[in-house]
Chains A and B, each alone.
Chain A
Amino acid sequence: MQVTRGYRVFQAVNAVVLTLVVIVTLYPFVNVVARSLSQEAYIRAGQVSLVPRGFNLHTYKLVMADEMFWANYRNTVFYTVVATAVAITLTTCYAYVLSKKQLRGRSALVGIAVFTMFFSGGLIPNYILVTSLGLKNSVWAIALPNAISVFNLLVMKAFFESMPTELEEAAAVDGLDTYRILWRIVLPLSKAMIATMVLFYAVAFWNSWFSAFLYMDQSDLFPVTVYLRNLIAGATGAGSVGAADADLQTAANIQAVTIVLTVVPILLVYPFVQRYFVSGVMLGAVKG
């Protein structure tokens, strides 16, 4: 391939643009870490950007000594585990059913799911429903209303459809019923797919806050996202508009520490799980 001068200029410009993309993406992380390690006086003076000023771990100790923070962190883990378990079970079952092309009524079953992507009951009826069912202040208020993501369902359906049918047919000839075929033949062959789905759901539930915000009214039931939300809400909420700046500023490094402690688990697993996400999305896109 001949390399023209214009192309070389383009390559240089491209390198600069992409470097900027990387910097812009990473800067907020570096900044928040720097703030979390700085003394509040330096933050208040607007002197903290990339490097911590007045390095100290005191704020970390302060936040980590907060029982409520850890209680909420445990809640996040608990909600994520329960909600993901429910979601993966329902999604796998339904996706497997939908992948059986010869099943009578299959297109109706697909339609029932897909329609909900484009039309939903909306916030208010959902709120009334969850409240009337008495799910408030329980993990079910988070797990049940979000049990199936139609996007994930379609990804998984596409995966099951792409599996060779010979093994299942042979198992059927051997007298295995559908449940056993699914449990003993299909699922063991789908470990990678199921792991991807678990990640999709787990990250979504780990990050979610609104269901908990809506349906939990005791602070010891909050997930850590709502803990953080309540911390930052002070900085933007109506109450603080005229409030003393000092309060707002004092919270700055505590906010930073809380952000860091909340984001660390995601950053730790990110390098390992990222490719599963990418392949999952691709599968959904190619087949869906």
Chain B
Amino acid sequence: MSVPGTLDPPRSTPEVGKPPPIPAPPLRPRRLTWRRALRRDWQLYSLAVLPLLFFAVFRYLPMIGNVIAFRKFQPGGNPLGEYWVGLRYVEMFLNDPTFWNVFTNTLILGVLSLVVCFPLPIVLALLFNELTSRRLKRFVQSVSYLPHFLSVVIVAAMVMQLLSVDGTVNQVVRAFGGDPIPFLQQPEWFRTIYVSSEAWQTVGWGTILYLAALTTIDSDLYEAARIDGAGRWRQTWHVTLPGIRPTMITLLILNIGTFMAVGFEKILLLYNPLTYPTGDVISTYLFRMGVLSNSFSYAAAIGLFEAVIGLTLVLAANLIARRAVGTSLW
């Protein structure tokens, strides 16, 4: 093996493939061929081997593993299934009333979470930004970030404590003369509980990116707006919001991408058979079908369907954002 890092005579470029210090296009007419690239940078490529192995085995292999959605799978048998069955499992779930129920629940919980948890961090960031005392600002921020660091198990446990028959919420209900409500056993409360716990945990942390974007807004713009006679509200509307618009759109696209995967773990912890009518979502349903009932192919078909919708949503949101406002992820 040639000593890596020896200089290539024709190009007197100093090592590790940095472009020449003076960018002179005519000096580099030909593109690096793969052979030369490998010879020069083999050590760099070697560092990528293990990570690529990780992506191949634990990210791309499962994508291929989705073929069991179209093949008969037997636990303990071939991980890629025994024989082709065509669209049998797809037809099965399309004709399964429970599937449509969990599909609707997923959409509703997704929309509710988006409507509540997307705008709140923006509002909160604007409020933080109006605090004049730096120490106070830092304190309020630190407190609001805290729930983000908790395990979803702890959040679920706290939700259960607060909503139990003897918990704080029912103490308030009782104080107003009502009868205690077993919130976690009643389907009509599940969506409220889920979305509020989600807001409690994510809104504070969600402000960080907006606060970062706020600091990048040119203060001259505010000055100009003031000279033009704009009050506080108009300044917020015409300077601040446009200033954080790229951040808003990026986060909106990302949120839409995870829309179908609504907090699977949290729902799994919070729901129970009594709240399935509103709480059961696609991911929890396929978890029960696959892992608990061993209908792996059926569950994989549903999972594939969910993943395809998720990807479509991201691509669509990205396209719309690029067309409409000129901001996109890529």
> Which residues of chain A have a CB within 8 Å of any CB of chain B?
4, 6-7, 10-11, 14, 17-18, 21-22, 24-28, 31-32, 35, 43-49, 89-91, 93-94, 96-97, 100, 102-105, 109, 112-113, 116-129, 132, 144-145, 147-148, 165, 168-169, 172-173, 175-179, 181-182, 203, 206-210, 214, 225-226, 228-229, 231-233, 235-238, 241, 245, 248-249, 252, 255-256, 258-259, 262-263, 266, 270-271, 274, 277-278, 281-282, 285-286
CB 8 Å contact bits of B41-54 with A (1 = contact, 0 = none): 10111011011101
Q: Are A109 and B48 in contact (CB under 8 A)?
A: yes
Q: Are B200 and A24 in contact (CB under 8 A)?
A: yes
Chain B interface size band reads 35 or more
Q: Are A175 and B5 in contact (CB under 8 A)?
A: yes
Given contact pairs A31-B162, A46-B174, A93 touches B306 in the complex (Cβ within 8 A):
no
Given contact pairs A46-B174, A236-B272, A104 touches B34 in the complex (Cβ within 8 A):
yes
A24 contact set on B, CB distance < 8 A: 200
Q: Main SS of the interface on chain A?
A: helix
> Which residues of chain B have a CB within 8 Å of any CB of chain A?
4-5, 14-19, 32, 34, 37, 41, 43-45, 47-48, 50-52, 54-55, 57-66, 68, 73, 79, 124, 127-128, 130-132, 140, 142-147, 149-154, 156-158, 160-162, 164-168, 170-171, 174, 180, 184-185, 200, 204, 208-209, 212, 231-232, 247, 257, 265, 268-274, 283, 286-287, 290-291, 296, 299-300, 303-304, 306-307, 310-311, 314
Q: Are B16 and A241 in contact (CB under 8 A)?
A: no
Given contact pairs A129-B62, A281-B208, A6 touches B44 in the complex (Cβ within 8 A):
no
Residue of chain B at shortest CB distance from A100: B44
A89–B54 CA distance with the chains assembled, in angstroms: 12
Q: Are B311 and A127 in contact (CB under 8 A)?
A: no
23 interchain pairs (CB within 8 A)? A10-B232, A25-B204, A31-B168, A47-B171, A94-B47, A104-B37, A116-B55, A117-B257, A119-B307, A119-B310, A120-B59, A121-B64, A121-B66, A123-B290, A125-B61, A125-B65, A129-B58, A129-B79, A168-B16, A175-B5, A236-B269, A241-B185, A255-B157
A10–B231 CA distance with the chains assembled, in angstroms: 13
Given contact pairs A7-B232, A232-B269, A22 touches B63 in the complex (Cβ within 8 A):
no
Given contact pairs A6-B232, A46-B174, A168-B16, A179 touches B43 in the complex (Cβ within 8 A):
yes
A47–B145 CA distance with the chains assembled, in angstroms: 29
Q: Are A255 and B5 in contact (CB under 8 A)?
A: no
Q: Are B166 and A104 in contact (CB under 8 A)?
A: no
Q: Are A228 and B154 in contact (CB under 8 A)?
A: yes
A32–B268 CA distance with the chains assembled, in angstroms: 22
Given contact pairs A31-B168, A35-B161, A102 touches B18 in the complex (Cβ within 8 A):
yes
A218–B19 CA distance with the chains assembled, in angstroms: 56
B304 contact set on A, CB distance < 8 A: 122
Q: Are B16 and A90 in contact (CB under 8 A)?
A: no
Contacts between chains A and B (CB distance < 8 A), count: 302
Q: Are B273 and A241 in contact (CB under 8 A)?
A: yes
Cβ 8 A contact of B48, one of A14, A21, A97, A117: A97
Task: Tell me the minimal C-beta distance from B259 to chain A in angstroms.
Answer: 12
Give the one of B149, B156, B299 with max A CB within 10 A.
Answer: B149
B18 contact set on A, CB distance < 8 A: 102, 165, 169
Given contact pairs A18-B131, A168-B16, A209-B151, A148 touches B54 in the complex (Cβ within 8 A):
yes
A113–B56 CA distance with the chains assembled, in angstroms: 10
A238–B184 CA distance with the chains assembled, in angstroms: 12
Q: Are B152 and A128 in contact (CB under 8 A)?
A: no
Cβ 8 A contact of B160, one of A6, A147, A235, A245: A235
Q: Are A31 and B124 in contact (CB under 8 A)?
A: no
Give the one of B55, B64, B204 with max A CB within 10 A.
Answer: B55
Q: Are A22 and B140 in contact (CB under 8 A)?
A: yes
B58 contact set on A, CB distance < 8 A: 126, 129, 144-145, 147
Q: Are B62 and A147 in contact (CB under 8 A)?
A: no
B160 contact set on A, CB distance < 8 A: 232, 235-236, 255
